[in-house]
A and B are shown apart, each in its own frame.
Chain A
Amino acid sequence: MKTPVNCPPWKIFFQGDRTLLLTLDGPVSVEGGRLCALAANALRAAGLPGATDVVPAFNSVAMHFQPRLFGPSTSFKNLAGEVVQILEQLATGTDAPTGRSVDIPVCYGGEHGPDLQDVARACGLSEAEVIRLHTDQPAYVFMLGFAPGAPYMGMLDHALDIARRTTPRTAVPAGSVAIANRQTIIYPHTSPGGWHIIGATPATLFFPEREPPTLLAPGDTVRFVPVDADEFKALSSS
């Protein structure tokens, strides 16, 4: 789809024949992320017939839908028109909260954060300063992806701007809290990964038997709360 529909600040494309993609220009920012979460919440709440999933990311929202056999058509023109109407109403009231505020306990360094020392050295900081910068400012949840419940959060302080590890690990333990490119993530289960692990959380991120099934959702704000190894152990077993 080469010619998008313009609805400033959004551009609306088709991605294949069953997905509408709304994109923002510019670099990653919490403001852009908030706008995506607000748009996604509004589109989901609108309950457009046939729409199955609305997926916000850093500066985009994907809306997946099924063809409608009866009633309004799912042609690009028609669907984009319905989306534009919802986005236009959104333009006012963008101060609205996009999600909840969630505290996540993290045990930094040591066996739980094997890369804390390296990160401190690479950023010219002490380990305590790295922890302070990671906990001082709440982190915004841009999107969940990679695995069920896995959050991408940011933006971290400029002092913590560090590229990904040159060699990814083949197995990062579940619960690992890691940083790269001023963002921070939590690995919900053991998986390969190339981010710097500075700590670990005993919190569970995905509960398939619950609804909603995840601790976090796009638009939430996370405050990392430092805990020591004993507290980590106690929280893990509770």
Chain B
Amino acid sequence: MSITVIKPGLLSSFQDLGRHGHQHLGVPVGGAMDVRAHRLANLLAGNDEDQASLEITLKGPQLRFDAASCIAISGADLAPALNQQPIPNNRPVIVQAGDVLTFGTRRRGLRAYLAVHGGFCLPCVLGSRSTYMRGTLGGLQGRSLRANDRLALNQALDSTQAPALSEALWKIKVYLPALLGNTHRRDVRIIAGPHADRFTPESWQQLLSADWRVAAQSERMGYRLDGPVLNLADTRQLLSEGTSFGTIQVPADGQPIILMADRQTTGGYARIAHVATVDLPVIAQTMPGEHLRFRDISLGEAQQLDHEREAAFERLFRGVADIRTLLGDAARDVVPRSELP
């Protein structure tokens, strides 16, 4: 029971909630760039949030299913279609053996997440199925998809039940809390960093007023921004310290870098600010060449927003209980659970 990769797309890799608990040993967290969309896709496919999803970047793959399954796509709108019929994002969709999933021209965002009910069958490396491509670690042999790869699935649906299932799923109303949808805000909310006062006051003002262009070298490790040069007032050398998802660090050239999913665990550049967790998906969905603006908020506000989004996920988890039940009853394990990696 698997999916055959006809075309791999630009950059498609398996990701999950990240490889936590090993940062003190230098192992990066990785995981989905837009964790929100990854979680959404999983929940809508009737999964728990920690199953791996396929992170699809800009130009999607062509995939052929050889068994009936249920999929859900969240995040960027990359014009997905099943057998050339457009399918919506953020809905569970039943696929039959032989169906071909394709993607068209990007409409919005940069990264889409494909979840399948029951999950992709991948080995767990250091507690995670996410792919760390720089270290050739995890996911599918530590790399992105290639043509002719076969992606094994943990579960398949009984194909004779598929049409009835499709109809039943269609009747289920999914209320998607607004806090979990794609946000296309132009101002990313940030919190001042421990080194903010090492910069000149003008530089802090410029960080907040400039229109920052996302540079071409932006990828899973970090987003480089082009704009005014940010200057340190205090140029004393800093010691390396632990970094965070969303840390905005400024190297000697004065051009900020936002640390993203595959960031190194430690870093020694001055950290002027940190992106509020709730707005990290905005960055992950921004293309090189597009622009970002920053607005500072307090730590308390950022934590409140973070908490509200978590509470919305909790509501959604309860809200999709019917989907889980319906699919859970129709799905069969392909590999006995005891033999799962």
Contacts of A21 in B (CB 8 A): 194, 241-242
Q: B interface, how many residues as a size bin?
A: 35 or more
Q: Let me know if A146 and B137 touch, CB within 8 A.
A: no
User: A55-B24, A150-B26 given as contacts; is B137 within 8 A of A16 (CB)?
Assistant: no
The answer to the question of A123 belonging to the interface, with a C-beta cut-off of 8 Å to chain B, is no
Q: Is B178 an interface residue when CB atoms closer than 8 A count as contact?
A: no
- The residues of B that contact A6 with a CB separation of less than 8 Å are none
User: Which residues from chain A contact B264 at a C-beta distance below 8 Å?
Assistant: 145-147
Q: Chain B residues near A212 (CB, 8 Å)?
A: 22, 25
Q: How far is the CB of A39 from chain B (nearest CB, A)?
A: 12
**Contact present for A217 and B25 (CB under 8 Å):** yes
B265 at the interface (CB under 8 A from A): yes
Stretch at the interface among B4-12, B74-82, B302-310: B302-310
- Kindly report which residue of chain A lies nearest to residue B26, judged by CB atoms: A144
Given contacts A17-B191, A17-B302, A214-B25, contact A148 B135 (CB under 8 A): yes
- Contact at A52–B21, with CB atoms within 8 Å? yes
Contact indicator B193/A15 (Cβ below 8 Å): yes
Within 8 Å of chain A (Cβ to Cβ): is B247?
yes
Chain B residues near A211 (CB-CB < 8 A): 126
Determine if B242 and A213 form an interchain contact, defined as CB atoms under 8 angstroms apart. Answer: no
Interface size on A, residues (CB 8 A): 49
Chain A residues with Cβ under 8 A from B265's Cβ?
55, 144-145
Q: For the complex, is A156 an interface residue (Cβ under 8 Å from B)? A: no
- Give chain B residues whose Cβ lies under 8 Å from the Cβ of A55: 23-24, 242, 265-266
Does residue A53 face the partner (Cβ distance < 8 Å to B)? yes
User: Which residue on chain A has the smallest CB distance to residue B239?
Assistant: A58
Given A15-B271, A145-B265, A145-B266, A2 contacting B197 (CB threshold 8 A): yes
Contact, CB under 8 Å: A17 / B240: no
Judge whether B310 and A67 touch: CB under 8 Å.
Answer: yes
The contact string, 1 if C-beta is below 8 Å from chain B, for chain A 1-45, is 110000000000111111101010000100000000000100010
B27 touches A213 (CB 8 A): yes
> How many Å from the CB of A74 to the closest CB on chain B?
7
Report the minimum CB–CB distance from A163 to chain B (whole Å). Answer: 11
Bound complex: CA A178 to CA B245 (Å): 29
**Pick the contact of A16 from B125, B266, B267, B274 — CB < 8 Å?**
B274
Interface of A: prevailing SS: loop
Residues of B within 8 A of A56 (CB): 24
A54 interfacial contact with B, CB 8 Å: yes
Q: A52-B20, A67-B306 are in contact. Are A1 and B192 (CB under 8 A)?
A: yes
**A206-225 CB contacts (< 8 Å) to partner B:** 206, 208-209, 211-214, 217-218
One digit per residue, 1 when the CB lies within 8 angstroms of any chain B CB and 0 when it does not, for chain A 44-78 equals 10000000111111111110100101000011100
Let me know if A149 is at the binding interface, CB within 8 A. Answer: yes
Give Cα A58 to B22, complex, Å.
18
Minimum CB–CB distance from B143 to chain A (whole Å) comes to 14
Determine the chain A residues whose CB is within 8 A of the CB of B191 once the complex forms: 1, 14, 16-17
- Residues of B near A17 (CB, < 8 A) are 191, 274, 276-277, 299, 302-303, 306
Q: Is the CB of A76 within 8 A of B299?
A: yes
CA distance in complex: A58, B237 (Å):
13
Residues B244 and A62 in contact, CB atoms below 8 Å apart: yes
The answer on a CB contact under 8 Å between B26 and A147 is yes
Q: A residues within 8 Å of B by Cβ?
A: 1-2, 13-19, 21, 23, 28, 40, 44, 52-62, 64, 67, 69, 74-76, 143-150, 152, 206, 208-209, 211-214, 217-218
| Chain A to chain B contacts (Cβ below 8 Å), 22 pairs | A2-B197, A13-B194, A15-B242, A15-B271, A15-B274, A16-B246, A16-B275, A16-B277, A18-B245, A19-B242, A19-B244, A21-B194, A23-B241, A28-B239, A59-B239, A64-B23, A64-B244, A145-B266, A148-B135, A208-B125, A208-B137, A213-B22
